[in-house]
Structure 1
Amino acid sequence: MAGTEHLTVRREGATLILTLNRPEAKNALSLPMLVGLHDGWMEADADDTVRSIVLTGAGGTFCAGMDLKALAGKGMEGERYRERLRADPDLHWKAMLRHHRPRKPVIAAVEGHCVAGGTEILQGTDIRVAAAGATFGLFEVARGLFPIGGSTVRLPRQIPRAHALEMLLTGRPYSAAEAARIGLVGHVVPDGTALTKALEIADRINACGPLAVEAVKASVYETVEMTETDGLAAELKRGWPVFDTADAKEGARAFAEKRPPVYRRE
């Protein structure tokens, strides 16, 4: 399994759980964390037994963004990973889901701080669960910086533009309740239970036909900027082949026989 000193990876059934693991720094992004994230996404894509991914953070925090000490030139932990960056200068953007979209659904389980780069990574996930005490926000402008992880492009496409601009231009924190009200997260649960809820959602996804799930996710993202006419045509191109799979036949047969389906990605 992939993993580094700042990113742990474990399996729970068909779900791959990636945990940002630098709690002493509120899981601020480090080079070992970025390499671990990159490798985790790639592992999930390559392994057909993985049907969903959960991204969470250790120590009651999701991610407090980039390590500002490193940004100020004071060095970044994990120098031995520098060769990975030299080999793939895009690695950090893939890690943050700016330049990579996993084909499996990604569910975020957020406790505590999910700010700056944390909120930017969040926008690359598909389903989002927040603990009641979680905090969100894009603080970059307050520090004279730019949220270059994709937020000026993605956020106005994911929540109403007025809310997106307020978040981007004020650099203020948002509570979990407010994040849910504007549509940034889908669930708010008691503190300490975000991962449990995320795994419940993952289990529901894992019980579905994996070929269908992946085709649905791909269709949603590839058609989002198309006209309705073009999008509907693309949906047919993506969706019709699913009906010809053995999994589709198994789903109908299992329904008729009143039993759980057994999907084989065929």
Structure 2
Amino acid sequence: MGGTEHLTVERVGATLVLTLNRPEAKNALSLPMLVGLYDGWLAADADDSIRSIVLTGAGGTFCAGMDLKALASDDGAMAGQEYRDRMKEDPDLHWKAMLRHHRPRKPVIAAVEGYCVAGGTEILQGTDIRVAGESATLGLFEVRRALFPIGGSTVRLPRQIPRTHALEMLLTGRPYSAAEAKDIGLIGHVVPDGTALERALEIAEQINANGPLAVEAVKASVYDTAEMTETEGLRHELERGWPIFATADAKEGPRAFAEKRPAVFKRA
């Protein structure tokens, strides 16, 4: 089903689970991980039987960001040299992998345990729904190392949470607990440690039960209209929404409700 030595891919029903799998390095980003991530996003969107994606990390950690030890080495190389050809072919691949320059059309749910800092929190901002274990640690630590959170945080974070909280997170570089991250709106759910993936899969299953064309159109509309005026956004919403009513799935939904049975959506 794909994947690399640092990124595992698993199918759970109609959900594709992508797992950052470098626990010995707290799932710090590597070339194999980035290539695997991007291939995972593409694979999910190419397969109409996949209706949602869950992103998580192995070993009780989400992602500790960039591999600073490799970054500090003489040549700045990261593990996985065999993947350099992919990077040369597509110099934008790492940004697509981190959801900076790519947005999957399927909903993406993050299941966070342990550390989700620096690049981990940057990837998090590209996901749609977020669940964290109660002892998870989040934050953007770049300024502590005289670095810049160039994964999109200075643009995205103030649009996702109140600006005062975004600036505090960006400028102090301090850690945030899962509860604090939920309070400021960065996380949607805080659950007992070790159950973030379970909760994410439950949310995914709820999404999977819905009409896939409607789900994807709703997600697209939310993001497409984010920077529009209200008038422009409402016009765009009609352009996105009206065609959904003409689908066979839109007829199946009300029919199944009337007949008191589960709907069978065929993406048509």
TM-score above 0.5, yes or no? yes
- Match of residue 62 from structure 2: 62
Tell me which amino acid in the other structure corresponds to 1:232: L
Deviations 1:3-34 (A, max 9, x none): 00000000000000000000000000000000
- Match of residue 149 from structure 1: 151
1:239 partnered with 2:241? yes
- Match of residue 20 from structure 1: 20
Alpha-carbon separation, structure 2, partners of 1:244 and 1:231: 21
- Match of residue 91 from structure 2: 89
Alpha-carbon separation, structure 2, partners of 1:47 and 1:73: 39
Tell me which amino acid in the other structure corresponds to 1:192: G
1:37 partnered with 2:28? no
- Match of residue 128 from structure 2: 126
Tell me which amino acid in the other structure corresponds to 1:199: L
Deviations 1:170-210 (A, max 9, x none): 00000000000000000000000000000000000000000
Deviations 1:203-238 (A, max 9, x none): 000000000000000000000110000000000000
Once the two structures are TM-superposed, the CA of residue 154 in structure 1 deviates from its matched residue by 0.1
Alpha-carbon separation, structure 1, partners of 2:188 and 2:174: 20
Tell me which amino acid in the other structure corresponds to 1:39: D
- Match of residue 194 from structure 2: 192
User: Which of 162, 168, 173 is matched with 1:160 structurally?
Assistant: 162
Once the two structures are TM-superposed, the CA of residue 72 in structure 1 deviates from its matched residue by 1.5
User: 3-state DSSP class of the match of 1:225?
Assistant: coil
Tell me which amino acid in the other structure corresponds to 1:73: S
Alpha-carbon separation, structure 2, partners of 1:220 and 1:166: 26
Deviations 1:47-106 (A, max 9, x none): 000000000000000000000122113531110000000000000000000000000000
Alpha-carbon separation, structure 1, partners of 2:194 and 2:45: 29
User: 3-state DSSP class of the match of 2:56?
Assistant: strand
Cα RMSD for the two superposed structures: 0.5
Tell me which amino acid in the other structure corresponds to 1:62: F
User: 3-state DSSP class of the match of 2:198?
Assistant: helix
| TM-score, normalised via structure 1 length | 0.99
Tell me which amino acid in the other structure corresponds to 1:204: Q
User: 3-state DSSP class of the match of 1:5?
Assistant: coil
Tell me which amino acid in the other structure corresponds to 1:15: T
- Match of residue 171 from structure 1: 173
Tell me which amino acid in the other structure corresponds to 2:65: G
- Match of residue 225 from structure 2: 223
Alpha-carbon separation, structure 2, partners of 1:215 and 1:70: 41
Alpha-carbon separation, structure 1, partners of 2:22 and 2:81: 16
Alpha-carbon separation, structure 1, partners of 2:124 and 2:90: 23
Alpha-carbon separation, structure 1, partners of 2:109 and 2:195: 14
User: 3-state DSSP class of the match of 2:17?
Assistant: strand
Alpha-carbon separation, structure 2, partners of 1:79 and 1:133: 34
Alpha-carbon separation, structure 2, partners of 1:2 and 1:149: 25
